[in-house]
Amino acid sequence: MRYFVLTAFHISTPLWLALLIGLRWPEKSLGCPPECTCENWEVNCTGKNLRSIPTTIPLPTKKLNLADNNLTCLPQLEISYLNELIYLDCSHNQLNMNYPFSFPDMTQLTYLDLSYNNISYITAYTFRQLNKLLFLNLSGNRSLKEIKDKSFGGNTMLRYLDLSNCGLTYLSGDLVKHLHNLHQVGVNGNPWHCDCDFLEFCAWMKESLYRHAFDSIDRDLLWSKLASMGIDKRLLMLIKILYSNTSYASDVICHKPESLYGLTLFEAENTLHFECLTHLEKNDFIFMTLIAFCIFFGGTLVAGLVGISTVIYYHPVVKMHDDSEDEEQKMI
């Protein structure tokens, strides 16, 4: 029976065509949502007024575009099956990502766009399992007012982070200090509160401008590395645009307190150094001089009293000893 089947395939061209079509069928149509388009493992559901993620997305999908819809949540179970996903765009939706939400272990995901949603906070668990993430866009989330410490603790490969045009008033310097591969970070357009706690972030921004500045040769190496990972040319062009448009510290403007309103990050840093760090004025120097003089005078006085007391104590003893020797000589 097995020999008959092989022979039939050998002599029948229609059977071979049917076999080839069958092999291509899963890639082209199997599981492709009716409201989306699927081609070359790319699923495009942009602008389809979706209120939930389609459940028939092909499992081998590498690029998924869900932008410009009405999604309010990302079901963890459904997206956990997309193990081959490299690119995920959920921008311009209504995502709020409840407190216990965390992305599942999507081992291949390198690009994640969550810009212009209703995300209000990021915790240490939100992106912890996305250890291959290179690009993360959280810009435009006006409800995002707090990012917990160690929120990017599992994203050590992160190279691009956009937090611009959110509602952030403060960022800890420890939040991104361990991200040694981070080359670009966008933080402009936030209502920053430039107080003493903001100095640590100022120091990190200043350091990053020098430590993470890289030339065209480094960028070419990065593009070639991304291309080798299977990212197509269109996505690479988008990444290059994002790199070239990232804002720097000169675009970070203070909104509070009123005395620093409108100042850039580095302009406010000089004022904060004077107000927050220990500094001495003329009265302080006079006071410290008086204290030093009092200590010196007190020490001198104590030393003199000790010396006088010592002399008074030892002098009578010596005199009594001399008198006893004179009496012994007279008796002899």
Residue 180: band (very low, low, confident or very high) from pLDDT cuts 50, 70, 90? confident
Which 3 state secondary structure label does DSSP give 111? strand
185 forms bridges with which residues in the sheet?
161
> What pTM value is reported for the model?
0.66
Q: Is 163 left (phi over 0), alpha (psi -120 to 50) or beta?
A: alpha
pLDDT at 291: 86
Nearest Cα neighbor of 63 from 41, 90, 33 is: 41
Domains of the chain: 19-275 (3.80.10.10)
Q: Which residues contact 193 (CB under 8 A, 6 or more apart)?
A: 169, 170, 254, 255, 256, 257
Residue 332: band (very low, low, confident or very high) from pLDDT cuts 50, 70, 90? low
Average pLDDT of the segment spanning 254-283:
75
Write out pLDDT tens, residues 293-328: 788 878 888 888 888 877 777 666 555 555 555 565
Please report, for residues 84, 88, 111, 189, 299, the alpha-carbon distance to residue 231 in angstroms, rounded to integers and kept in the order given: 12, 12, 10, 30, 77
Average pLDDT of the segment spanning 248-255:
70
pLDDT at 28: 44
256 forms bridges with which residues in the sheet?
193
**Mean pLDDT computed over every residue of the chain:** 76
The half-sphere exposure of 14 on its side-chain side, counting CA atoms within 13 A, is 0
Q: Lowest-confidence range among 79-88, 236-245, 313-322? A: 236-245
Write out pLDDT tens, residues 4-59: 344 444 445 544 444 444 444 444 445 789 999 999 899 999 999 999 999 889 99
pLDDT at 296: 83
Nearest Cα neighbor of 115 from 142, 94, 145, 141 is: 141
Average pLDDT of the segment spanning 150-160:
89
- Cα distance between residue 10 and residue 67, in whole Å: 47
**What 8-state DSSP symbol labels residue 195?**
S
- Cα distance between residue 219 and residue 47, in whole Å: 32
Write out pLDDT tens, residues 61-79: 999 999 999 999 888 888 8
Strand-strand pairing, 184-186 and 87-89: unpaired
pLDDT at 276: 76
pLDDT at 321: 55
Does the pLDDT value for residue 213 go beyond 50?
no
Q: Is 275 left (phi over 0), alpha (psi -120 to 50) or beta?
A: alpha
pLDDT at 13: 53
Q: Which of residues 208 and 297 earns the better pLDDT score?
A: 297
Of 73-77, 81-85, 176-180, the range with the highest mean pLDDT is 81-85
The dihedral through the CA atoms of 151, 249, 113, 181 has a sign that is negative
Nearest Cα neighbor of 116 from 137, 90, 143, 141 is: 141
Q: Which residues of 46-80 are buried (b: 16+ CB within 10 A; e: fewer)?
A: eebebeebbeebbeebbbbbbbbbebeebeeeebe
Please report, for residues 52, 56, 89, the alpha-carbon distance to residue 43 in angstroms, rounded to integers and kept in the order given: 15, 11, 11
Q: Cis peptide leading into 75, omega within 30 of 0? A: no
Q: Lowest-confidence range among 136-145, 157-166, 225-234? A: 225-234
DSSP of 56-108: T--TT--EEE--SS------HHHHHT-TT--EEE--SS-----TT------TT
